Structure 1
Amino acid sequence: MPSSIKGIPLKRIFELIAIASVFMLTIGYIAYDATSTAFLAREISALDRHARIQVLDLAKQADPDLKRSLHRYESQNSFYYLQRNIDGVKQTLYSRSLPKPFLQKIQSLASSQQSADKKNGFLNINNQKYIWASASLPGDAYKLVLIERSTLELGTVFLVLGVLGLLMIIIIIGIVFSIIKRQYSIRDDELFARSLRDPLTGLANRTLLYDRLQQTIASAKRNKKSIALLLIDIDRFKEINNTLGHEYGDIILKQIEPRLRKVVRETDTIARFGGDEFAIVLSIAHTGSVARCLDNVMNSFHLPFYIDEIKLSMSIEASIGVALYPNHGDDPETLIMRAEMAMYKAKKQGSQISFYTPKDDPYSLRRLALISDLRQAIENNELSLHYQPKVDLENHRITSVEALLRWNHQKHNIIPPIEFIPLAEQSGVIKPLTQWVLKTAIRQYQKWHEQGIHLNIAVNLSARNLHDQHIVQDILNMLEESEMDPSRLELEITESAMMVEPDQAKAILQSLDHLGIKLSIDDFGTGYSSLAYLKDLPVDNLKIDKSFVMGMLYEKNNAIIVNSTIKLAHGLGYQVIAEGVEDKETLEKLTTLGCNAAQGYHICRPLSADELSAWFKTSSWNLARTS
């Protein structure tokens, strides 16, 4: 409840109400007193006339039956008092029902000198109001006093006054609380309006954006139009906050709002979607208008941003994701989700602008179904491992095989790892999946070892595996259980996976290295690792990504990258393995450049364990055996 209304304290307001109530009661009483006096005067005047008429009637009668003549005044509310003086004989008659207090009072009035001047009036006896009037004949032969109870009751008066006063108080309190309610309503409206606005920029917040988007969709359905939802993310805004401070970061955000307003129509909605994210809802007739708006938005960010306090001018880049109604969804939740996906894709690829496409949707129905199926794939015996050999180019010998996971889905047949491995990482299935691969590969190693075939076996770890604090202990338990030599196990980690959490990745790799396990950086050249980071990693091999190897004979830049990587790796003390060797010429070129090992379809495609065992017998590559 507010402590004041229009600046007046509530305590003072209630004091004023009390004073006003007393004042109104006083005014009411005064008004009543004046009214009741007039009313009594009229009653007395009427009784006075009755008394005069009655006394004249009595005098006209010869030896009248006085009691019979005055019987109308024999009641609880009407009385008479009569003195007769005929021929010196005095006689007093009065109502039998006349109370003694009245009798004494009337006798006093009748006998007093004052009563000779005063012929009427009113009496208060036992808190009841009575009127009286007297009349007499000359010589006081007859003197009559009539008494009647007034129709104006004092209790009724106070009841009426009380009701009037109470009504007045209720009206005043009602007015006051009406004012309070209005104050509350105004404040609630202000609070509600503020709850729908971003306090920093004044733009619509997420809640209002959702509501506006819902309204715009409904309007578009009626008018058969389209909608574009743009989600804008400020690139490297965290760096701005960390460098300049959040205060100056807020200044930048405030400058974005007027720029966006200039490039959209008044009917379009602009919202602050998150910390450094903004949203625009456009009603469009065709996609060409979206392209123009996107150009205008991007151009608005290219203009310098000024921070006067520190005299700094800076340019800012943004990533924009776009989802269209009805193409990409027909409700706010779907459009927002898909615009976010497109925005993250633009940010990841550095393309600045990206439209939603179903193939990039990790939440499509097919993917959701595959996630569910993947959980059952191990139990349903749908997974298998194929193996691709790696050969030592100097000794012309098979040194190891890489275990490659395959999923033979009951409905969709063979599903490639590039599709289901990301699903496994997103859904948390990656841990049991990795454990199954490791156990299966180790069992196959044991079988070959029992057959006298001595090979290292390589298994891939994902970025999510490097976040698992138990991965090292799990691998150690498997090695001890199988009695496998740790140096025979190779673990391959992609360059990009290591850069997700580089410090944690480095700690896990060091622990694995201490166990004697060999480590390789997979897909080298496709990530963003620095040489300063790589040189401190306990790795044994660098695997050059196949995208460079496959085109090295025809693309000069690819050949330069392969040659430089080989020299760099050797300089750091690493062995080099080339992936994607598809022909004899590439293999010979790699040998010439000093590459240590290679794998690819020219050597052998991935095969099942039985097929690879048969290939060992017919291959021209040497194989380390024991008799």
Structure 2
Amino acid sequence: LEGACQIAVEEGEFAKAEVVLLDGGAPDGGPRVRRVAACAEGERTAPPGTSDAPGLAPIDTAQLVTEAIAAAAPAIDNDALGGKASCVALPLAEGPRLIAVLVLRARVCGFFTAEEMLLLKQLVADISFALTHLSTQNRLTQLNQYDGLTGLPNRALFLERLRQAMHNAQEEGEQLLVVVGKLRNFVSINTTLGRAAGDDVLRQVAHRLKAASRFPDRVARVSGNLFASFLPNKTSASEPTLRMDHSLDEAFSKPFQVGTHEVTLTIQTGVAIYPDDADDADTLLVNAETALRRARNSGARISFFEPRMHEEMARRMQVEMRLAQAISGDEFQLHYQPKLEISTGNIIGLEALLRWKDSENTMVQPSQFVPLLEESGMIVDVGLWVIRRAMEDQSSWLAAGLPYLPVAVNVSSVQMREPNFVEEVLAILDKMAPPPASGWPAPWLEIELTESAAMEDIERTVAQLQQLRAREVQVAIDDFGTGHSSLGYLAQLPVSALKIDRSFISGMTPRRDTMMIVDAIISLAHSLGLKVIAEGVETRQQMDLLSKLRCDEIQGYLLSPPLDARSLASFLTDYRR
């Protein structure tokens, strides 16, 4: 704009040129303007706010500017100063929006003729085009370098700033710590409260991280709920790490308000150090992300990069690829472990356990692939497959004349977060379970979930379980005693059974204190009207002791290992004899 004024004075030989920028509404409701650039004969730039150029009688152009704004068209005064000068106010637009007014002054009366105005209108069109182009460029720069949701630098700008910081650190002989952090349980906010709520939380997180950081311009959102920053390190890694911990404590100490809900979040971080872990920005950021994955897998709050992590990640990626092939290649199997009612000696149910025999005919341990199914989200589809296959096997056993036995399946917190989880389970029951008129008793299906899965979002869990219980689906809390559930919350859950974790059962006979814990769990469950199932029972001594403690059911190798569907059918036939 200043350049336009200068050209008007030097090339157009106007006595004066100035630009006033529209600056919102005045208190009286009229337009408010402020001068942003002005030039006059004999000087390059007149300071903003000066009354006029040297040697020129002052002219009040405010009314002329107001008219031009109101009409969105040129306003002309060809008889200024009693016929000694002429003025014109020319609106300038940025696209469809009026943003400024160019005011030109000539030394003679009647200067702005129709012919002169044609030339000036072309000048105004050129200036408006340039303004629109610059605005578009600025917006493109904003889109290319900043995150549209939070306003933080995006991955590209973060890497550009990191490269410059690494260059400076190299010259000073210093280290840099690159930190990436990911929110825990953020997915549950999107699934339970909606994406708009999730977006609101991300904006709040961005604001808090900037407010808590000593270097707010270095805080970036590099993807999804993944944030990053970098810190100078002039001493040892411990000092900036302590500062970072303090900043994170400050940012996440209070719940986030989302409408009427309060959401508590934590963040896990991975750290990579320049120049120890990499000497280029892209690799350094990738290594910090690798360290973050280690933190998430181990449950740690912070993890520093180590070179061997790449080997671990390569192995994990290979297993994930094989898992994807396992789903399409029907490599998963169900094995079933019977449950025995102690008081009658009858087998009264089964637990379905997922097994994987890969393309090389090797049985892969559940501990090696179930966590990966959960992290990748593949557990959602696999979990529904488990329920369908269990129902199919039940139908086959009944057709072969075997007794009715309800089947329990394990459900993870990832599945519980799915908005349509309950509807999908009930749809399978509607399609595959026999109708009540068939005479077969309910339930056909039981689900088992851990304490931590049940307590992740207690309100959502209660609502989901109530829907399942309304359809005769039984619910058990698995691995009870290993989590941190509140007894008050436990009483709220519409569950039918507690399963005592195998670690208590194995320690029950050699240690009296462990036996007392088992006794307390059984008494607690019975006081809440729940039955108790002991997992991992391997000896007759354990079973006899559980019987004395009034445990309801047992499950474990004392009765049978997990068996495939065909082997289980043979076991049940022999057991009945």
State the shift of 1:388 in Å: 1.0
State the shift of 1:570 in Å: 0.8
Superposed counterparts of 1:15-94, under 5 Å: 17-19=13-15
Q: Which moves more between the two structures, 516-525 or 318-327?
A: 318-327
Instruction: Tell me the secondary structure at the aligned position of residue 395 of structure 1.
Output: coil
Matched to 1:271, the amino acid is V
Q: Which moves more between the two structures, 367-376 or 207-216?
A: 207-216
Instruction: Tell me the secondary structure at the aligned position of residue 344 of structure 2.
Output: coil
Match of 1:396 in 2: 345
Match of 1:384 in 2: 333
State the shift of 1:317 in Å: 9.1
In the alignment, the residues of structure 2 paired with residue 609 and residue 533 of structure 1 have an alpha-carbon distance, to the nearest angstrom, of 37
State the shift of 1:229 in Å: 2.4
* CA displacement, residues 51-86 of structure 1 (integer Å, 9 cap, x when unaligned): xxxxxxxxxxxxxxxxxxxxxxxxxxxxxxxxxxxx
Instruction: Tell me the secondary structure at the aligned position of residue 480 of structure 1.
Output: coil
Match of 2:474 in 1: 518
Structure 1 or 2: more helix by fraction: 1
> Which of 224, 230, 241 is 1:294 aligned to?
241
In the alignment, the residues of structure 2 paired with residue 448 and residue 191 of structure 1 have an alpha-carbon distance, to the nearest angstrom, of 64
Instruction: Tell me the secondary structure at the aligned position of residue 396 of structure 1.
Output: coil
In the alignment, the residues of structure 1 paired with residue 324 and residue 284 of structure 2 have an alpha-carbon distance, to the nearest angstrom, of 24
Please tell me whether residue 210 in structure 1 is matched to residue 164 in structure 2.
no
8 Å Cα contact 2:252/2:266 also seen in 1? no
* Distance change (3 Å), C-alpha of 1:524 and 1:193: same
In the alignment, the residues of structure 2 paired with residue 470 and residue 603 of structure 1 have an alpha-carbon distance, to the nearest angstrom, of 33
State the shift of 1:522 in Å: 1.7
Q: Identity, % of aligned pairs?
A: 31
In the alignment, the residues of structure 2 paired with residue 362 and residue 500 of structure 1 have an alpha-carbon distance, to the nearest angstrom, of 31
* Distance change (3 Å), C-alpha of 1:289 and 1:280: farther
* Distance change (3 Å), C-alpha of 1:303 and 1:437: closer
State the shift of 1:463 in Å: 3.2
State the shift of 1:580 in Å: 1.8
Which stretches in structure 2 are left out of the alignment for 5+ residues? 18-40, 42-122, 190-200, 255-264
8 Å Cα contact 2:268/2:300 also seen in 1? yes
Superposed counterparts of 1:46-445, under 5 Å: 206-214=155-163, 228-231=177-180, 253=209, 256-258=212-214, 270-273=218-221, 279-281=228-230, 289-295=236-242, 297-298=244-245, 319-323=268-272, 332=281, 335-336=284-285, 339-340=288-289, 342-343=291-292, 346=295, 351-356=300-305, 357=309, 364-378=316-330, 382-411=331-360, 413-425=362-374, 429-445=378-394
Matched to 1:397, the amino acid is N
8 Å Cα contact 2:354/2:386 also seen in 1? yes
In the alignment, the residues of structure 2 paired with residue 585 and residue 387 of structure 1 have an alpha-carbon distance, to the nearest angstrom, of 24
In the alignment, the residues of structure 2 paired with residue 344 and residue 383 of structure 1 have an alpha-carbon distance, to the nearest angstrom, of 26
In the alignment, the residues of structure 1 paired with residue 379 and residue 225 of structure 2 have an alpha-carbon distance, to the nearest angstrom, of 32
State the shift of 1:211 in Å: 1.7
Aligned length: 438
Instruction: Tell me the secondary structure at the aligned position of residue 476 of structure 1.
Output: helix
* Distance change (3 Å), C-alpha of 1:539 and 1:337: farther
> Which of 380, 403, 424 is 1:453 aligned to?
403
Please tell me whether residue 535 in structure 1 is matched to residue 482 in structure 2.
no
8 Å Cα contact 2:177/2:231 also seen in 1? yes
> Which of 448, 465, 478 is 2:432 aligned to?
478
Instruction: Tell me the secondary structure at the aligned position of residue 532 of structure 1.
Output: helix
In the alignment, the residues of structure 1 paired with residue 463 and residue 448 of structure 2 have an alpha-carbon distance, to the nearest angstrom, of 16
* Distance change (3 Å), C-alpha of 1:461 and 1:306: closer
* Distance change (3 Å), C-alpha of 1:587 and 1:218: farther
* CA displacement, residues 426-481 of structure 1 (integer Å, 9 cap, x when unaligned): 55544543343333323333343333434332222333443223221222211038
Please tell me whether residue 503 in structure 1 is matched to residue 459 in structure 2.
yes
State the shift of 1:612 in Å: 3.2
* Distance change (3 Å), C-alpha of 1:213 and 1:462: same
> Which of 569, 572, 585 is 2:541 aligned to?
585
Which stretches in structure 1 are left out of the alignment for 5+ residues? 25-173, 239-244, 262-268, 308-315
Instruction: Tell me the secondary structure at the aligned position of residue 433 of structure 2.
Output: helix
**Larger-Rg structure:** 1
Q: Which moves more between the two structures, 327-336 or 536-545?
A: 327-336
8 Å Cα contact 2:388/2:428 also seen in 1? no
8 Å Cα contact 1:544/1:579 also seen in 2? yes
* Distance change (3 Å), C-alpha of 1:292 and 1:582: farther
In the alignment, the residues of structure 1 paired with residue 202 and residue 394 of structure 2 have an alpha-carbon distance, to the nearest angstrom, of 56
TM-score, normalised via structure 1 length: 0.54
In the alignment, the residues of structure 1 paired with residue 252 and residue 348 of structure 2 have an alpha-carbon distance, to the nearest angstrom, of 59
In the alignment, the residues of structure 2 paired with residue 430 and residue 415 of structure 1 have an alpha-carbon distance, to the nearest angstrom, of 16
In the alignment, the residues of structure 1 paired with residue 233 and residue 206 of structure 2 have an alpha-carbon distance, to the nearest angstrom, of 31
Matched to 1:608, the amino acid is D
In the alignment, the residues of structure 1 paired with residue 549 and residue 522 of structure 2 have an alpha-carbon distance, to the nearest angstrom, of 8
Matched to 2:536, the amino acid is G
In the alignment, the residues of structure 2 paired with residue 487 and residue 283 of structure 1 have an alpha-carbon distance, to the nearest angstrom, of 61
8 Å Cα contact 2:402/2:569 also seen in 1? no
8 Å Cα contact 2:402/2:572 also seen in 1? no
8 Å Cα contact 1:479/1:485 also seen in 2? no
In the alignment, the residues of structure 1 paired with residue 387 and residue 369 of structure 2 have an alpha-carbon distance, to the nearest angstrom, of 17
Instruction: Tell me the secondary structure at the aligned position of residue 604 of structure 1.
Output: coil
* Distance change (3 Å), C-alpha of 1:372 and 1:439: closer
Matched to 2:553, the amino acid is A
* CA displacement, residues 163-217 of structure 1 (integer Å, 9 cap, x when unaligned): xxxxxxxxxxx9xx99xx9xx99xx999979997999x99976443212445678
8 Å Cα contact 2:208/2:251 also seen in 1? no
State the shift of 1:337 in Å: 5.3
